[in-house]
């Protein structure tokens, strides 16, 4: 599967050139021309984000902070701003790299590959161990804390407390939602989100689907 990159940049010439070069290198590329569009498009599928600072609607710093609430995906800042305080602000907010325009394309691609390789290596090495602590309302995979919604946490906590026991959708609904008369696929949607957040830190399949029955966490 090809690595997927999101470019958030409002200069069409830069976007066109970068997209062509990255696709030539074998990457799949999606493009957003403003911050709101970039955040709407972002998902755990992306291996890296190229993020401009001066974006319409939401600037680069706002976008970076939103991304970091749910994801550790590598983010490289692309900008014409060379002030040290800008660089410090973005690196402090969680950017992985800071590249000023004009940039050397070969160097940028080398940086992109390095960050993706480093992230993939870290995923492989991350232990499978899941820990859910209901008292502190925290869930971790290895040393990485998961950023879960209240519903996602309660579903994960229920499965964790019943490790090695298959729990049906109806059982999960009864425990988490109580008297609920909506669609049972609300469980599937939340499980999908939990898995996506776990996948940021580990390649291990922590929540297993038991066809025709439900879900189970094993070996915790």
Q: Are strands 48-52 and 75-79 parallel, antiparallel or unpaired?
A: parallel
Asked if CATH classification 3.40.50.2300 holds for the domain at 4-125, the reply, yes or no, is yes
Listed by start position, the domains of the chain span 4-125, 130-217
Q: What is the pLDDT of residue 148?
A: 92
The Cα–Cα gap between 199 and 219 comes to 17
Helix (H, G, I), strand (E, B) or coil at 31: strand
Closest CA to 74 of 31, 117, 41, 28: 117
Q: What is the pLDDT of residue 205?
A: 79
Q: What single-letter DSSP state applies at residue 45? A: T
Give domain 130-217's CATH number out of 3.20.20.110, 1.10.10.10, 1.10.760.10, 1.25.40.10: 1.10.10.10
Helix (H, G, I), strand (E, B) or coil at 216: strand
Q: What is the pLDDT of residue 204?
A: 75
Q: What is the pLDDT of residue 183?
A: 67
The mean pLDDT values, 10 residues at a time, for the chain of 220 residues are: 91 94 95 95 92 94 90 91 88 92 93 90 64 90 88 94 92 85 79 89 83 83
Phi, psi of 99 (to 5 degrees): -120, 130
């Amino acid at each position: 599967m090809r690595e997927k990159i999101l470019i958030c940049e409002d200069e069409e010439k830069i976007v066109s050139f970068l997209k062509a070069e990255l696709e030539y290198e074998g990457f799949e590329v999606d493009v957003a021309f403003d911050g709101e569009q970039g955040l709407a498009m972002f998902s755990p599928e992306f291996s890296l984000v190229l993020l401009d600072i001066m974006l319409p609607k939401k600037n680069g710093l706002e976008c970076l902070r939103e991304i970091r609430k749910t994801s550790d995906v590598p983010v490289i800042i692309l900008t014409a701003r060379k002030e040290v305080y800008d660089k410090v602000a973005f690196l402090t907010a969680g950017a992985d790299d800071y590249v000023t325009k004009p940039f050397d394309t070969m160097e940028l691609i080398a940086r992109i590959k390095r960050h993706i390789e480093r992230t993939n290596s870290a995923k492989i090495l991350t232990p499978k161990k899941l820990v859910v602590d209901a008292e502190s309302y925290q869930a971790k995979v290895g040393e990485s804390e998961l950023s879960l919604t209240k519903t996602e946490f309660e579903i994960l906590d229920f499965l964790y407390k019943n490790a090695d026991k298959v729990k049906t959708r109806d059982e999960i609904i009864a425990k988490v939602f109580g008297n609920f008369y909506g669609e049972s696929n609300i469980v599937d949607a939340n499980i999908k989100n939990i898995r996506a957040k776990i996948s940021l830190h580990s390649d291990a399949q922590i929540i297993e689907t038991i066809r025709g029955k439900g879900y189970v966490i094993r070996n915790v």
